Structure 1
Amino acid sequence: MHTELPALLGVGLILLGIFYLGFLSMKIKFPSVILYILFGILLADHLNDNEILHIASEIGIVLLFFLLGMEFSISRLGGIAKRAWPSGLLDVVLSFGISMMIAVGFGMDLFSAFIVGGVAYATSSSITAKLLDDNSRMANSETEFILAILIFEDLVAPVVVAILIGMGSGGSFAANDLLFLLAKITGLALLAIFLGKVVFKKFDHLWEKIEDEDFKTALLVGFSVAYGGLALFLGLSEVLGAFLAGMMLAEIRYLHRVEQTVVPLRDLMLPTFFIYFGTTIELGNGIPMPFLLGSLLVWSMVSKVLLGTIGGRWYGLSKKVSLRAGLSLCARGEFSVVIAATAIGTVKVMAGIYIVVAAFIGMLLFEQAPKITNKVYGKSKPKKKDLKVPGT
C-alpha cells in the first residue's frame, strides 16, 4: 500500500508549522529562529534532502540578503570596506585562528582542527540579519559595522570551504586554486559594480514606464535569485551574490515602493531556511569531546565580544555601541553547517551540537545586548531626531 505523503500536503503542513511556531514565539517571547531550527531537527528523518524545502530555503535566504543589499549603494559599500578590513582580519585571528589552536591543544590533527576553526569562525548572516530586523535595530549605529563584518566573513568563508574541500579530497590545495577562487569573488563583485553603475543607473526611464507592479516584483525576485545562483555556479555563496544583486539595483531611484512588495515573500520563505538548516544537523548518540566543545563555546562568545569591543572602536563606534555590536555577533549558522559537512565521525557530530548551542546562545546574547550594555554603561538619553537606516 502506498503511504508516502504527497509533496503538496507536506508543504502545507510545514507552512502551518511555521505559523504555529511564529505565533508561539510571540506568546512565550522566545526567538522564532530557534523554534524553526528545532522543528527542522525533529523532522529531519522526514525532510532530509527534501528538494522543495531546499529550494524554498535558498529563495528565503537570497531575498533576505537581496533586500539588505538594497540599503547600500556601491560607493557606500566601498567606504565601509575601507573601514572594516582591520576588524575583519582581527575576526579571522580571534574566531578562526585561536579556535584552531584550542582544537590542536586538545589533541586534534591539523585537518580536523582547521575544520573546527572554520565552524567556529563565521557569524550566522541569516540569523543576525533576521534578528536585526525583528528587533527593529536596523537603524542602530552599530548595524553598519555588524553588516560589514558579515560581508567580510562571507568573503573569507568560501575560501575556507574551498581549502577544506581540496584537503579533504586527498589532494593538495595549491596556490593556483586559491588565486582562482579569489579571482571569481573579485570578478563577481566587479560585474556587480559595472551593472550597477552602467546598466541599472540608467534604468529609471524604463522602470517608470512599467505600470504593473507584479512585473517589477518579478524582476526584483528573478534578478536576486539569478545572481545568487550565478554565485553558486561559480562555487561561491548565494548570500554574497544576493547582496551584490541588491547593491546593483539600489542604483535605481524610486525603488522603495516596489521593494516592499518583496518583503512578504521573504517573510514567507525565510523560516524554511532555518527549518532546512535544522534537518542538516546530525546530533548522533551522546556528546563527543565535551571539554573541547565547552571550551569552544566559551571562546566563541568571548572572541566575538572582543571583536566588537576592539574592532568596533577601530570602526569609530563608542564603547557602549561596540560592546552591543560584539554581543550581537555571537550566533553561528549556515557557513558553519557547510564547513561541518566536510568533517567525518565524532568531529562532525560535535560540530553539529556546537552549531545548535552556539546559535541558541548567540541569539539570547543578541536579545539581551541592549540590557547588558545599559547595565555596563548606563542608559543613553533619547535624542530628538529621526533615525534612518544606514545608507538611506
Structure 2
Amino acid sequence: MTLAELAVTIGVLGVLGLTASRFGLSAIPAYLFAGIILGPNEPDIVQLVKPSEVTHFVSEIGLIFLLFFLGLEFSLERLVRSGRHVGLGGAADLIVNVGLGLLVGLIAFGPSFAALVLAACIYVSSSAIAVKALIDFRRLADDETDLVLAILLFEDIAIAAVLGFVATGGGGVAETAGVTTKAFVFVAASLAASRFLGAWIGRQLGRLELEFFLLAVFGFVIAMSAIAMELELSEAIGALMAGVILSESGVREEIEQRFFAMRDIFAALFFFAFALTIDLSRWSDLGWIVAIAIVATLIGKLGVGVVAGRLGGFSVRQGINAGAALVAHGEFTIILAQLAAGNAALSLEQRDDIVAFAGLYVLASATVGVVLMKESKRLGRMLRPAVALE
C-alpha cells in the first residue's frame, strides 16, 4: 500500500462512515463496503488496494486496540461479577452454536472434516465488531454487557484450541488440552496482576512525561498481545487482558483520552483490510449456504442470549440485547478459513469454498448483526411490552 493509496482509502472510509452515521447506523458496514469497492476481488470496480503485509499489520493493530479498550472498561470487580456468566453462557453458546454450525456444515459438505471447520466458523463471534458496536451505540456500561464479555472471553479461549485443530487437520487431545490450559493460566495471571500490580503500574506511569507515558502504554499493550501469540493464543486475549490490568491502574481515564482517536483510526483500517478478502462473485455458488448459516446464527445467538441471560438474572430484553451483540462474525472466522486453506486434509475445492464462504458470511452477519444490535432494544419492547400499572 502506497501513501497515495492510503490517502484515497482514508478519504473513502471517511465519506462512507459519515454517510452511515447520518442515517444513525454504525460505521462498520460502511468500512466493509469500502474494502469491497477498493479491493482486488469481484466486483471489479477500482482494485486500488491488495492484501499485503502492510494491510495485515494495520488490521492487527486495529484489532489489538479494539480489544484493549474493551478491557479498560471492565475492572477486576466487574470481571469477577461477570465470571458467573462465563461457565453458563459460554458453555451454552458452545453447545448450541457449534451444534447448529455442524448441522450447516453437514448440509454443505456432508460428514467430513470440512463440516467441522464450517461449524467452527459459525460458532465464534467477532470480538472486534461487537466491541465497536457497543462503543458506537454507547452500551459498554449496560449490565448485560457483562454477559457479552463473558461469552466472548469463553469463545476466545475455546478458539485458541480450535485454531490448532483446524490448522493440523485435527490436533490430538493432549495438544488441544495444552493450548486450553495455557489460555486459562494466561487469563488467571493477568487477573492476578490487575489485582496486585495494577495500582503500582499506575503510579509508575503517572511519573512519566506525556511522550514516555504514551510509549509505555503502547508498548505494554503490544507486549501482552505478543506474549499471547507466543503461547499460541489469540492476540485479542492479550490485548483484552492488558486493558483489564490497566483498568485498575488509576490512569484509565487518561489512557482513554490519549488513545481514543488512535483506536478509531486503526479500527476503521481493520475492517477495511478485513473486507479486502471478500469476493462477492462467489455468492451465486455459496449464497444458499450463507443464508442457512445466517438463519442458524440468529436462532443460536439470540436464543443463547435470552436463555443464558434469564439464568444469569437478566430480563428477556437484556438477553436479546446480549444475543444481538454476538450475531456479527469477523476476524476469527476469516482466520479459521485461512488456516483451513493451507490444510492438506481438505480438498482444493473444499478449501476454496470455505474461504469464499467465510468472506460472504462475515459480510452478511456483520451487516445483519450491527443493524440488529441497533434495533435490539426496540425489538425487545415489541416482544416484551412493559406491563402497565393498574
Aligned to 1:24: 19
Aligned to 2:39: 44
Letter in 2 for 1:295: I
Q: Which runs of 4+ in 1 moved over 6 A?
A: none
Moved more, 72-81 or 143-152: 72-81
**How far is the alpha carbon of 1:98 from its aligned partner?**
2.2
Moved more, 150-159 or 188-197: 188-197
Q: Is the 8 A contact 2:62 2:266 kept in 1?
A: yes
Q: Is the 8 A contact 1:201 1:252 kept in 2?
A: yes
Q: Matches of 1:183 and 1:328 in 2, distance apart?
A: 27
1:157-207 deviations in whole A, cap 9, x for unaligned? 22112111121xxxx511221122123213322442343344433234433
Moved more, 258-267 or 191-200: 191-200
Q: Is the 8 A contact 2:72 2:252 kept in 1?
A: no
**Cα distance change of structure 1 residues 145 and 131 upon mapping to structure 2, 3 Å threshold:** same
Q: Matches of 1:296 and 1:285 in 2, distance apart?
A: 16
Aligned to 1:63: 65
Structure 1 residue 145 and structure 2 residue 147: aligned? yes
Moved more, 285-294 or 115-124: 285-294
Q: Is the 8 A contact 1:288 1:349 kept in 2?
A: no
Structure 1 residue 356 and structure 2 residue 363: aligned? yes
Aligned to 1:389: none
Aligned to 1:332: 329
Query: Which of residues 180, 192, 195 is equivalent to 2:178?
Result: 180
**How far is the alpha carbon of 1:75 from its aligned partner?**
4.5
Q: Is the 8 A contact 2:160 2:180 kept in 1?
A: no
1:249-298 deviations in whole A, cap 9, x for unaligned? 12212431233111111011110010011012234444224443322211
Q: Matches of 2:117 and 2:50 in 1, distance apart?
A: 23
Aligned to 1:319: 316
Q: Matches of 2:336 and 2:293 in 1, distance apart?
A: 16
**How far is the alpha carbon of 1:52 from its aligned partner?**
2.5
**Cα distance change of structure 1 residues 29 and 249 upon mapping to structure 2, 3 Å threshold:** closer
Q: What is the correspondence of 1:147-162 to structure 2 with a 5 Å cutoff?
A: 147-162=149-164
Aligned to 2:45: none
Structure 1 residue 33 and structure 2 residue 31: aligned? no
Q: Is the 8 A contact 1:284 1:349 kept in 2?
A: no
Q: Matches of 1:204 and 1:173 in 2, distance apart?
A: 41
Q: Matches of 2:8 and 2:372 in 1, distance apart?
A: 31
Query: Which of residues 94, 100, 103 is equivalent to 1:101?
Result: 103
Structure 1 residue 208 and structure 2 residue 218: aligned? no
Letter in 2 for 1:16: G
Letter in 2 for 1:181: V
Letter in 2 for 1:355: V
Aligned to 1:78: 80
Aligned to 1:195: 193
Structure 1 residue 246 and structure 2 residue 243: aligned? yes
Three-state SS of the structure 2 residue aligned to 1:203 is: helix
Q: Matches of 1:293 and 1:83 in 2, distance apart?
A: 30
Letter in 2 for 1:182: T
Query: Which of residues 219, 224, 247 is equivalent to 2:221?
Result: 224
Q: Matches of 1:30 and 1:75 in 2, distance apart?
A: 32
Structure 1 residue 281 and structure 2 residue 272: aligned? no
Letter in 1 for 2:175: D
Q: Is the 8 A contact 2:26 2:136 kept in 1?
A: no
Moved more, 266-275 or 185-194: 185-194
Q: Is the 8 A contact 1:142 1:322 kept in 2?
A: yes
Q: Matches of 2:377 and 2:364 in 1, distance apart?
A: 21
**How far is the alpha carbon of 1:229 from its aligned partner?**
2.1
Report how many residues are paired.
371
Q: Is the 8 A contact 1:146 1:329 kept in 2?
A: yes
**How far is the alpha carbon of 1:219 from its aligned partner?**
1.6
Q: Matches of 1:80 and 1:30 in 2, distance apart?
A: 28
Letter in 1 for 2:34: F
Q: Is the 8 A contact 1:120 1:296 kept in 2?
A: yes
Three-state SS of the structure 1 residue aligned to 2:285 is: coil
Percent identity of equivalent pairs = 25
Q: Matches of 2:57 and 2:236 in 1, distance apart?
A: 14
**Cα distance change of structure 1 residues 278 and 380 upon mapping to structure 2, 3 Å threshold:** farther
Q: Matches of 1:275 and 1:143 in 2, distance apart?
A: 26
Q: Matches of 1:254 and 1:159 in 2, distance apart?
A: 34
Q: Is the 8 A contact 1:308 1:323 kept in 2?
A: yes
Q: Matches of 1:298 and 1:203 in 2, distance apart?
A: 46
Q: Give the TM-score normalised by structure 1.
A: 0.88
Q: Is the 8 A contact 2:99 2:119 kept in 1?
A: yes
Aligned to 1:120: 122
**Cα distance change of structure 1 residues 255 and 296 upon mapping to structure 2, 3 Å threshold:** closer
Three-state SS of the structure 2 residue aligned to 1:329 is: coil
Q: Matches of 2:180 and 2:23 in 1, distance apart?
A: 45
1:123-170 deviations in whole A, cap 9, x for unaligned? 211111111111112222211111211111111122112111121xxx
**How far is the alpha carbon of 1:315 from its aligned partner?**
1.6
Aligned to 1:370: 377
Q: Give the TM-score normalised by structure 2.
A: 0.88
